[in-house]
A and B are shown apart, each in its own frame.
Chain A
């Protein structure tokens, strides 16, 4: 069965420092991977996706993610964190059995301190 794991419940980083939010996946076949962000009392917003092509994917708000097939990872990164990046981040993978369905990780809370 397909799955995605976010091993950290929370990531703390100082403003201006680089940030990484980790995601690993388990799928048969080629994975289609997504990152979403959720701000308080709001729905999820799409950040970026990997379907095929370059392993480094650029997305909204200066975020990027690196697809690593050998490590089955899709970590979210940003070179310089902002306090406004503080939010809940979700990794997701497309369900191989039904391309209309996404399987979400449990989420990682990012806290950027001034």
Chain B
């Protein structure tokens, strides 16, 4: 079982560049999430998609956009990267509310 797959694993960007983080899950889960993890701050929700066709802002959405391409895929786009977006990004999925989240292994992004 692949579970939740994130690509790329590592990325270095220059300020102002754009990129898309990809996420796919093969568990037929309805809900998908993007979190960022920063030292001492735990995980903060960027965007989530409760079901295919819907997306909603989380705690820290500024500077990001998302696309729920289909039930399997949920991408995160940085249109103009900033050093403050240096972080580890995690995608997660769940079959429904109150069910545990299943996480990918993360994308480590550095913006210089």
Contacts and interface: CB of A to CB of B under 8 A. Distances in A.
A100 B50 contact: yes
Contacts of A32: 98
Contacts, number: 54
A43 B31 contact: no
A69 interface: no
B101 A102 contact: yes
Most buried by A among B58, B100, B105: B100
B43 interface: yes
A13 to B, nearest CB: 21
B43 A90 contact: yes
Nearest to B58: A101
B66 interface: no
Contacts of B50: 100
Interface of A: 9, 32, 34, 36, 41-46, 49, 51, 90, 94, 98-102, 104-107
